[in-house]
Amino acid sequence: MTTGTSIQGLHPAIATPEVQAAIESVIAGIQQAQSTLHGVRGPDPARQASAEKVIQAYGEARGRGLVFPLMGSGLGRGALVELTDGSVKYDFITGIGVQAFGHGDLDIIRTALVAATGDVVMQGNLQCNEDAANFAECLLAGAAKDGPRKLAHCFLTNSGALANENALKICMQKTNGAPRVLTFEHCFAGRTTTMAQVGDSAGARQGLALNLEVEHLPYFNAADPEGSTERAVEQLDHAIRRYPGQHACLALEPLQGEGGFNVAPRSFFLPLMERAREAGIPVWFDEVQSFGRTEAMFRYQWLDLEPDVVTVGKMSQVCATLYTPDMNPKPGLLSATFIGSTASLRVGRRMLERLQQEGAYGEDGRHARLHKAFRRFAEKLVQSSPSHFPSMHDHNSPAELDEVIGGAGGMMRLTPYGGDGARIKALLMRLLDAGVIAFSCGHGPFHLRFLPPVGVLQEADIESVLSIVSDVLEDGS
């Protein structure tokens, strides 16, 4: 465990021995409380009623209940989280990938405690502290690559959807208000009124006035790599011929998140990017979910591609739009009240520093090794329960391993029941009862989705979780 370094973030006037001792005392107290968390634990009957009451009240306040009837108690350790009912579960979705260092990481808590000594809670675009500059510098250093398409600028904001809105605004201004967007089937870009139209989800657009023209190209199909690439290029060429000069951008996820953890190689993206650039269409990589989680800090780096605009979020804590000098917008286009909280700026930077310093990236980096471990345990599960893993194309035949095990790095996918959405939803509830918080992805077929805390994840955690999956696969269907 990395400790000690973030204490340096204290303001010189505050960094007295007494303050530093107080912070370390808090850390020691949390560490002592964490010593009770060793594995999955059932609910405490004395706490269940009050926990259920708060969850129900919050659901009524929202107008709709929570997806899962659970709330964190504020105590956790690594991949384990204690809930308000006293139960302890493996958190393998981490707020859809936000808590990259899991629960209760002492170095991250120390960073947040130091941030709490600052003079403001929230920082903004009109006036911010040095934390904003340090965070932006860290992001740009991670993206560093010389050349005409070097990502040289970084605009911070407090949600992935807003980072994506800013990306689209930049692209539209660059193309003189071009009204159309090229993107891909099964994509997801957020839930603002504009991003809901970019995303390929009919449910997210219900009741919305549609004012953006979006064309969804076919995404890469591993079962037909050459054919799917040819079809995507052909459809792109057709759109450009039909609407010359009318496209603001080619927006793509280098590894689709909500759409099903769909992975595509460089050979798929490169001809599409070349066609777009020949037509003067900027290329925007949406890495809000994939950022930091795979074999490189940015997925485009792993693919050796050069985008014009990139958006990041989730595990970065503060979200951002990065872009080349050529895409730098005119004054007034981008602004917002908030950048993020002082704690999120400092914690985000600390997370990125640790991922780089602790060997997360590369062909044999931590993320690659964790994914290999996931595949190893998942293959064992599939081979031991073949009836639960039929082919998504022929439910009467067993699936190939690569069909039902997917993703990259800390984005891990498993597809039981031929991708049947109702059965996977029921499986998620059985997993929750058995001690695992997971989620689904995909639009049909559907998949079991894991976004575990890659910064602190152990292979033993993966083995334990997949063992629980094995125990609850049977549903009598």
Backbone dihedral angles phi then psi of residue 309, each to the nearest 5 degrees: -140, 140
Residue tagged 């083995």 (tokens): 463
Place of tokens 């964490």: 34
pLDDT of residue 5: 40
Burial pattern 250-275, b for ≥16 Cβ within 10 A else e, equals: bbbbbbbbbbbbbbbeeebbeebbeb
Residue 41 β-bridge partners = 88
Predicted confidence at residue 150, as pLDDT, reads 93
* Pair of tokens at residue 458: 């152990």
Longest dimension (CA), the chain: 70
SS3 content of the chain, % helix, strand, coil (to 5): 45, 15, 40
In the chain the first and final C-alpha atoms are separated, in Å, by 45
Q: Which domains does the chain have, with CATH numbers?
A: 122-357 (3.40.640.10), 366-472 (3.90.1150.10)
The CA distance from 166 to 443, in Å, is 26
Task: Dig out the tokens for 453 from the structure.
Answer: 């805390």
Q: 407, 434 in Cβ contact below 8 A? A: no
**DSSP state letters, 443-456:** SSS-EEEE---TTT
pLDDT for position 416: 97
Report pLDDT for 6.
39
Residue 4: the pLDDT is 41
pTM: 0.95
Report the alpha-carbon distance of residue 311 to residue 171 in Å, rounded: 12
How far is Cα 232 from Cα 271, in angstroms, rounded to an integer?
Answer: 10
The answer to whether the bond into 445 is cis (omega within 30° of 0) is yes
The rounded distance, in Å, linking the Cα atoms of 408 and 448 is 14
Q: What pLDDT is stored for residue 474 in this prediction? A: 85
Which spans in 336-400 are helix H?
A: 342-357, 366-384
Q: Which residues of the chain have pLDDT under 50?
A: 1-6
Complete DSSP assignment for 184-238: ETT----SSHHHHHHSS-SGGGTTPPP-SEEEEEPPP-TTSHHHHHHHHHHHHHH
Tokens, residue 31: 């560490």
Look at residue 1 in the predicted model and tell me its pLDDT: 39
CB of 414 closer than 8 Å to CB of 68:
no
CA angle at 365 for the pair 416 and 8, rounded to the nearest 5°: 115
For the chain, how big is the Rg over CA atoms in Å? Answer: 23
Show Cβ contacts of residue 376 under 8 Å, excluding neighbours closer than 6 positions.
Answer: none
**pLDDT in the model for residue 200:** 96
Give residue 272's pLDDT. Answer: 98
Question: Can you read off the two tokens belonging to residue 294?
Answer: 């795979």
